[in-house]
Amino acid sequence: GFTDPMVDTNTFLLIAGLLLLIGIIASSLTVRLGLPFLLLFLGVGMLAGEDGVGGIPFDNFDLAFLVGNLALAVILLDGGMRTKRSTFRAALWPSVTLATAGVILTATGVGLFATWLLGVDLRYGLLLGAIVGSTDAAAVFNLLRNSGIRLNERVGGTLEIESGANDPMAILLVVIMIELLTGSAQFTPGALLQLVLLQFLLGGLIGVFGGWVLVGLLKRLHLAEGLYAILIVSFGLVVFAGVNRLGGSGFLAVYLLGLVVGNAKTKPPESVSQIMDGLAWLSQAGMFLILGLLVSPANMFDNALAAVSIAAFLMLFARPLAVILCLLPFRFRWQERWYISWVGLRGAVPIILAVYPVMSGLENSQLLFDITFAVVLVSLLIQGSTVPVVARLLNVLIPAPPAPTNRHPLLNEADLSLEVDEFVVQPNAPVLSPFFNANQNDSANPQCVALIRDKRPMDVDGAIKFKAGDRVWMLLHSEDVDDVAAQFSGQKQQGMLTAQNFYGEFVIRPEALVDDLVKSYGIAMAPAEQRLTVAELLQQRLGKHPVEGDRIRLGGLRLTIRQMDGDTILAIGLKLGSHKNPQ
């Protein structure tokens, strides 16, 4: 712990507050530089530590382990609440494959390389492989959501769900390797299988059941608004710790609990999501600060060459090979496979796993910890800062749809959800058409409730004629928000190049017949397919869970799914004369 007896409570709180404050203020700089803010908190912790300018002596691995587990539980809970059910359906099996077989393949590859490079016992090499074998939920959630890019649901979902679900396998491998090294292991193949099943089954079942219980509680309890987020977090921690005590995976349980709560018909209000976001952010910052304090940069630099070599092997060989093998049975384009392999970010999870051997009193455990820390730094610095750049290079982005500037939910019930949304009228927006009237006497029509023009409120009682730059507040049903946002956006005209290149020049209805399409463009195709609707053809060729941005070729035409609702295709883009293979 803090070894200086003069460090009292106030000094500790002062230091903790200052470190957080410095990190928060400096995080705006990391956004401008395109670096992950998690890296900054690791850096602040290292600078404040024993070898840095702060000179704070901190070596309490038990406290770091406790804080790390607590923080990860909150981060996974928040991540689960933000994962949509449609994303889960589209990305479940590829994610599960990566979270199990992918972790084993990555750990084995890195383990063999580390054994050869460091000249250590094979068990030590494999232990290091197991420690850095899993991706980190905190880093993946943070970077994918804050980097300003939009991936299709299958790619983004695979990365997020994999990072939420791969901790059980990594922890299991680490525990097995430590027991083999300490000589206390008595594993038979049957016992190993039982251990794996217990981790996943207990975690999965209790997580989902706990989610239903929590949704029921949220429906029935009437609390002060600020308490709902605290209820969710405390319930999540009870499930997390309870499942761990029973021998299951608390990480998996708390992620699934969040998924059930976030996708319930009566979701927690937006204010609760914002508080959860703040708690997850604080958890990430606190966890990376403490882990930064724990490391000794001097020791890390002693092993820098070995660590960088292992990190390079992990990023360029072990992870890509594991991803390509695991995703072979699934429908991904090659660019998407390369992207998933690149965004295998390492973060807090490997560092916390590297604390296991230290706490077990394993010899050389400090070496494992230092190398792991350096691997995480390299991963965050190189992979973390290039998440958007590589997405553009590999062409895996899809155009972001228009959205309100602010959303304010009013009513959130199973059969009725209302919200007031703020829009800024863009030049060339459809609402500027002389034929558009926001307040027609039509119950299905969205209602304009406020309008600010040139910093002055305008009358909204009669027919409204909008001007570019107006700030408008509309009362809407939640399901109508996307359609109304498109009316206020000039994106169709202004961003025609990107939207047109991606989706095509025309929008066709899903119920349009393939027969009419192929006759219009003189395309020859199988009679069985010709009798289908365009939506049925896409479903047939793309499989069970297509996502927005999925494409097929039809002669010289390219059909791209433009809008989805669950597994139902709502709109399809048609691009003419597309001779390049989009798959």
- What is the DSSP secondary-structure string of 2-69? B--TT--HHHHHHHHHHHHHHHHHHHHHHHHHT--HHHHHHHHHHHHBTTSSS-B-B--HHHHHHHHH
Return the CATH fold of 496-575.
3.30.465
d(CA 480, CA 394): 33
* Residue 7, pLDDT score: 54
Cα 507 from chain centroid?
A: 30
* Residue 495, pLDDT score: 42
- Model confidence pLDDT, tens digit, residues 43-74: 888 888 777 777 777 778 888 889 888 988 99
Mean confidence (pLDDT) of the chain: 83
Contacts of 77 (CB under 8 A, 6+ apart): 232, 233, 236, 254, 255, 257, 258, 276, 280
Structural contact between residues 121 and 367, judged by C-beta atoms closer than 8 angstroms: no
* Residue 243, pLDDT score: 94
* Residue 414, pLDDT score: 63
d(CA 352, CA 375): 13
pLDDT band, residue 106 (cuts 50/70/90): very high
Structural contact between residues 190 and 198, judged by C-beta atoms closer than 8 angstroms: no
Whether pLDDT at 237 is above 90:
yes
> If you count them, how many residues does the chain have?
583
Tell me what the mean pLDDT of segment 475-479 comes to. 81
Whether pLDDT at 494 is above 60:
no
Angle at 410 between CA 407 and CA 413, to 5 degrees: 115
Q: Cα-flanking dihedrals φ and ψ of residue 539, to 5°?
A: -60, -45
Question: Which one is predicted more confidently, 262 or 491?
Answer: 262
CATH assignment of 406-489, given 3.40.50.300, 2.60.120.510, 3.30.70.1450, 3.40.190.10? 3.30.70.1450
Residue located via tokens 């695979």: 158
Q: Cα-flanking dihedrals φ and ψ of residue 135, to 5°?
A: -80, 165
9-393 and 496-575: identical CATH topology: no
Question: For the domain 9-393, what is the CATH code?
Answer: 1.20.1530.20
Q: How far is CA 427 from CA 286, 325, 487, 493, 494, in A?
A: 44, 48, 11, 9, 8
pLDDT band, residue 442 (cuts 50/70/90): very low
d(CA 575, CA 583): 14
* Residue 560, pLDDT score: 87
* Residue 445, pLDDT score: 62
pLDDT band, residue 31 (cuts 50/70/90): low
pTM above 0.85, yes or no: no
Of the candidates 140, 94, 22, the residue with the CA atom closest to the CA atom of residue 545: 94
d(CA 385, CA 380): 7
Locate the domains of the chain by residue range: 9-393, 406-489, 496-575
pLDDT more than 90, % of the chain: 20
Whether pLDDT at 457 is above 70:
yes
Contacts of 102 (CB under 8 A, 6+ apart): 162, 166, 322, 323, 326
Of the candidates 229, 203, 232, 237, the residue with the CA atom closest to the CA atom of residue 215: 232
